[in-house]
Chains A and B, each alone.
Chain A
Amino acid sequence: MRWSYALILTVTVFLGGGSLALDAKDYKTAYDLLRNGLCSLKITCLLPADMIYPADWKGDVEARLSRSREVLLIGDVQSFQPVISYLDAWLRTTDPTRQQNRPQIFAVVPQEQMVWFRGWTENPELAGFVKVAASSNENEPLSVVGRTGLPLLILDNQAVYMPTWWQLDGPTMRQVLTWGCLLVDQIRAANLRKQEVK
């Protein structure tokens, strides 16, 4: 009997999530409901508090991005294309308020994708906002994930997204962010180093 409740609960959450096109917040609520439901039915209390939520570009990622002060991009630039276009428009904006709030951008990408950032790094007006480092000094014939690990977009060292689009949230992500600060420092150091390498 317990199991049939559980089944109904699961199906409701997942099918419901799909057909009603729940946004990330609803999905999160639904997942918490499922997690607590399974626990109170004494089926399992081991479902992690972490979850990967489907996120919506316009409603979630872009909305959070629009008020970020620090943007960290890791991995495959191609999958972050909307982020790059959004940031490009922001960096080049003529609106004085938006201009004043332009974020600091940090990126660590494979060597062959460094060209994507030339438009910013070679523009003296924008270069100050952008710090990019190649994930290694080589073009390797291995997939980007194989080389750099998971592609991540980290906003203000708080919100973590994976491309097209998922939000990672929960205690696990908060632990990962401990390393995020180190990576930002390393990108900053690598950028200074570029001038030192003669």
Chain B
Amino acid sequence: MRWIWMAVLLVGVALAQDPRYPETTRYLVSAPDYRLDRLTLLKWPFVEVLRTDRWKENQAAREGGKAPVAHEWRLPMSDLATTQEVARDLRRAWQRFEERYYWHVITRLNNPALYAVYCWAGLKGPDLNPPLPEVRVDVPSGSVPQGFDPGLGWPQPAAQGQHMLDAYWPVPQVDPDDFCDDLSLQILPLMYVPGFCIDIDAIGFSWCTPGYEGGEPLWFNDAEAQKRASDGIAHAVSAYYPDYQKDVLTALRPRVPTDLSDPTRLRVFAPMPWQAHVLEGGAVVTPVMRTLDGLTPQNLVNEAQGILQTLRQGLPRLPEAERLAGTAYYYQAVRGLARLPFLQPVSGQLTGLIAEMDEKVMNQVLQTLAATDEGSKLVQRDLFINAKNAPGAWRLEELKRWFPPSNPYIYERFGYLSFFQVWDRAEVTTVPDFRADRNPLGVAASLGMRALFYWWVPVRIKITLMPSPPFISLSGALDWPKPVPVPPYVLPFAGERTYWGWVSVPEGYEVPRVKGVPGLGVSGVSIPGFGPEVYNLLLR
């Protein structure tokens, strides 16, 4: 038996790579105090986060008798449903920008016709009303050690592909004031000379200007059309884009209750700029939890079941010893849940999830894992456990990044935590985004609905010859308006755009996307209503 263990150990040491957990600046979830029981004491749950380099500086300072270095911060939790509402506001902010941008340019281009329809008569479609965005975690590949891939895929941020309208109507979904600014009725210069036809019925003569049948005007004022399009785009860059950034900041304002006396009705959004959501700034983050209204025993069972399902998919890709130990590693968590008094009604279901496992065997497997790891340390390797920089068995811990946002009981038993995050990306794309819709027909349809056209009206002139004065009579008929495509055909976009998403972080592991110091912010970007005292009530 000893020889078999020895063989397992040696093969394991030979195959495994060391986990690369650097000792440089790292932002860790440290000692969460997210017990919901705090609510019964009229206290709100919060988590603590740690910056390792500052922590070391602080230790050095303490030994040297110097002033302490701030290294640990408290972040109040937000409730999951409210973060969904924030995500919806962020999405609406983009939709508003998209609508203002297009309708301004198209109205400017088709002034006076569309100016009269949209700005004077105020023709308008339904208001923008995006549904609550779906909650799903994403796993940035850079947040796990290189080479680690449990085969669970790399889910994209919840905001991926969401920067688009829910429906591309042929009428604006924003108020006229939103896009008619900087416009006035403009009759001149002449935009086109219409193509026309002359019909002389008496002699059966009919002649049309060249291109009439093909839908082309006799002359089109190309230069003016391009000038209008480019003025419209410049106006969007200088006026609507800064408004979009303001709308984003407004969406991110803290939503903090004034008292905590009725825990079932609390709605909290407590964003922490860490250090800001803008480029090279980090992200605005907040830990999230399901609050009491989502906290039914049945939901807890479903969430535990979902987590075990993730494990069932992820464990088979891990090294042999961890695959065996994985079940045992999480066995404790489910057993702990089943023993919670208020989960008594579903404890049968919970223990059912781990029914075939024997506690003694589980303990033995975990001990084996630890022993094998100890063995690897003899040859200066960290096979499974790199306790100095990453607590627990790191592969089994990193799997938790695929776990869903949940409630404090699940977080506590399984040892992880989910964050809601908001950050900017710089992108060069079209509006509507040609990458947003997975369905090429959908892309074509939305781009088609938002293409730049000048609409001109063909004229059909009828000349009738008569035997008596005035001998000739002219009558005209207008045909349906026809489009002339105008460059750039589809609106361009190049700049920062705000993304949102939810990530899960194992306890003691790195929080992705953040930079610097929580709460410090950066100059020029301030979240309305956010200040050093704003969370005093939540952090008592």
Contact = CB atoms under 8 A, between A and B. Distances in A.
Given A42-B214, A45-B211, A48-B487, A193 B428 contact: no
Contacts of A1: none
A155 interface: no
Interface of A: 42, 44-46, 48-50, 74-75, 108, 111-112, 133-142, 145-150, 152, 170-176, 178-183, 186-187, 189-191, 193-194, 196-198
A193 B278 contact: yes
Contacts of A179: 233, 237, 428, 492-495
Interface string B227-239: 0011001100100
Contact of A172 (B214, B425, B487, B512): B487
B428 A149 contact: yes
Given A135-B427, A136-B423, A182 B494 contact: yes
Nearest to B138: A140
A49 B237 CA distance: 24
14 contacts: A42-B211, A44-B214, A46-B485, A137-B281, A137-B513, A139-B140, A148-B426, A182-B241, A183-B426, A183-B494, A189-B279, A197-B281, A197-B282, A197-B516
- B143, B423, B488 — which one has the most chain A CB atoms within 10 A of its CB? B488
Given A171-B488, A178-B237, A179-B493, A135 B426 contact: yes
A137 B237 contact: no
A12 B281 CA distance: 54
B425 A136 contact: yes
B280 A193 contact: yes
Contacts of B524: 189
Given A179-B237, A183-B426, 20 more contacts: A44-B214, A74-B494, A108-B426, A134-B279, A137-B513, A137-B514, A138-B512, A138-B513, A145-B435, A146-B435, A147-B427, A178-B230, A179-B494, A182-B495, A183-B494, A186-B426, A186-B495, A196-B522, A197-B281, A197-B522
A45 to B, nearest CB: 6
Contacts of A172: 487-489, 492
Given A74-B428, A175-B229, A137 B234 contact: no
Given A134-B279, A134-B280, A197-B275, A175 B495 contact: no
A112 B142 contact: yes
B198 to A, nearest CB: 18
A149 B237 CA distance: 18
Contacts of A182: 237, 241, 494-495
A191 B141 contact: no
A94 to B, nearest CB: 33
B279 A190 contact: yes
Interface of B: 140-143, 154, 156-157, 160, 210-211, 214, 216, 226, 229-230, 233-234, 237, 241, 275-276, 278-283, 423-429, 435, 485, 487-489, 492-496, 499, 512-517, 520, 522-524
Pick from B241, B279, B492 the residue with the most CB of A within 10 Å.
Answer: B279
Nearest to A175: B488
Nearest to A50: B487
Contacts of A183: 426, 428, 494-495
A76 to B, nearest CB: 12
A48 B451 CA distance: 14
B156 A142 contact: yes
Given A133-B279, A133-B280, A198-B517, A49 B487 contact: yes
Main secondary structure of the interface of B (DSSP, over half): mixed
Nearest to B153: A141
B230 A175 contact: yes
B278 A139 contact: no
Residue among A136, A141, A146, A180 with max Cβ neighbours from chain B (10 Å): A136
Contacts of A138: 140, 142-143, 423, 512-513
A187 B428 CA distance: 13
B425 A171 contact: no
A110 to B, nearest CB: 10
A171 B487 contact: yes
A148 B428 contact: yes
Contacts of A44: 214
Given A147-B425, A170-B487, A186-B496, A140 B230 contact: no
A150 B493 CA distance: 11
A150 B426 CA distance: 11
Nearest to A111: B142
A197 B280 contact: yes
A175 B428 CA distance: 13
A121 to B, nearest CB: 12
Contacts of B283: 137
B428 A152 contact: yes
Nearest to B236: A178
B280 to A, nearest CB: 4
A71 B424 CA distance: 23
Nearest to A196: B522
A40 to B, nearest CB: 9
Given A75-B428, A197-B275, A137 B489 contact: no
B422 to A, nearest CB: 11
B280 A194 contact: yes
Contacts of B487: 48-50, 170-172, 175
- Which 3 A-B pairs give the minimum distances between C-beta atoms? A139-B142, A171-B487, A149-B428
A190 B494 contact: no
Contact of A149 (B142, B241, B427): B427
Contacts of A45: 211, 214, 216
A148 B279 CA distance: 13
A49 B487 CA distance: 8
B154 A149 contact: no
Contacts of A140: 140-142, 154, 156-157
A32 to B, nearest CB: 15
B109 to A, nearest CB: 12
Most buried by B among A138, A145, A149: A138
